[in-house]
Amino acid sequence: MSTRTSEAGPAQDTGTVVCAVRGLTKTYPAARGRRGAPSAPAVRATDDVRLDIRRGEIFGLLGPNGAGKSTLVRQLTGLLRPDAGTVEILGHDIVRHPDRAARLLAYLGQESTALDELTVSLAAETTGRLRGLPLKDARAERDAVIEELGLGPIAARPLKKISGGQRRLACFAAALVGERPLLVLDEPTTGMDPVARRAVWAAVDRRRAERGTTVLLVTHNVIEAETVLDRVAVVDRGRVIACDTPAGLKQQVASEVRVELVWREAAPTGLAEVDALREHAVEAGRRWSLRLAPDEARTAVATLTGGPAFDHLDDFSLATPSLEDVYLALGGSRSDVKGLVKA
């Protein structure tokens, strides 16, 4: 699944907002330390968060440990009451009526011990029954999802007796039974091998394409985020510090290209084109690293490879910024990113 196909996904309807969040704020109170243990200060885990997630979109929350992603998701899913702000999912006020969330969304949290005693097959069937499916339908959906995710060989085994990655996939399977229009997935592919990951993203994409399912995904994995997400909100210290498509974020934050030059021996200083680059270069032995605007990088490489400097070059590379570069840049200079919030 590529970002491009995701962005142009047929089921994505830019007009319909499935989940609207306004001013969402939550402070965990300070805890007094007992018996000489240090006390913990109050933590503002979400701070005036505003988001609009649209129908058929795969929307990501990206941010470092402790940024407030899980707290935000737990408020969206009706599991945690915010101090202030509103959450509206498909027209329902989830802060006032948290009980309605279960009918509107499927939530796969980080911990899923509740199903541990059940077999893979029974976990899927039970979830369907809890969501109100008649037995026959719950079983039919169970069988379909087990087949779809390749869980057949372990379907009869209890969750507590399969591997971590298999358990994650089984819980994901259960979350899909008794379809909901919004899927909220907190780090769904943690611990999974590439085959299982691919099965998860294929299942997500299929539901989005066929049914317009909307997906809210919490992730640390910037590389995965880059390939599967339509839009991403970068969360840091409880605030959304940037929100855009992965491509848009990359464009806005890291408009430079990294040029790496490795000389055969010493750099051929004295050549005008080499001397001109030297002032931008970070030198480490035979290696020069430069951050240049795309046009400058293209010109530099063309000049170096088309002239006498070429004979002195051992290797060179041009790298476009990744979402990881953006993520690091955002985390490193919070004051630079205020203008990035688009949603």
Ligand X SMILES: Nc1ncnc2c1ncn2[C@@H]1O[C@H](COP(=O)(O)OP(=O)(O)OP(=O)(O)O)[C@@H](O)[C@H]1O
Interacting residue ranges for ligand X, rule: CB under 6 A: 28, 43, 45, 63, 65-71
Closest distance to ligand X from the beta carbon of 14 (Å): 27
- Strand duo 84-89 + 58-62: pairing: unpaired
Instruction: Select 43 or 162, whichever has its Cβ closest to ligand X.
Output: 43
Q: Which DSSP category does 152 fall into? A: G
Closest distance to ligand X from the beta carbon of 69 (Å): 4
Instruction: Select 65 or 269, whichever has its Cβ closest to ligand X.
Output: 65
Please state, in angstroms and rounded to a whole number, the distance separating the CA atoms of residues 183 and 228.
14
Instruction: Select 28 or 316, whichever has its Cβ closest to ligand X.
Output: 28
Closest distance to ligand X from the beta carbon of 64 (Å): 7
Tokens (6 digits) for 61: 């929350």
Closest distance to ligand X from the beta carbon of 38 (Å): 14
Instruction: Select 83 or 117, whichever has its Cβ closest to ligand X.
Output: 83
Query: What are the residues facing 318 on neighbouring strands?
Result: 259
Closest distance to ligand X from the beta carbon of 119 (Å): 28
Closest distance to ligand X from the beta carbon of 248 (Å): 22
Only one residue has tokens 């464009």, namely 251
Instruction: Select 70 or 119, whichever has its Cβ closest to ligand X.
Output: 70
Segment holding 116, helix H or strand E: none
Residue 176: other Cβ atoms inside 10 A: 25
Please state, in angstroms and rounded to a whole number, the distance separating the CA atoms of residues 204 and 9.
12
Do residues 247 and 231 make contact, with C-beta atoms less than 8 angstroms apart? no
In sequence order, what are the residues at sequence separation of 6 or more whose Cβ sits closer than 8 angstroms to the Cβ of residue 193? 165
Instruction: Select 12 or 70, whichever has its Cβ closest to ligand X.
Output: 70
Only one residue has tokens 């007094």, namely 32
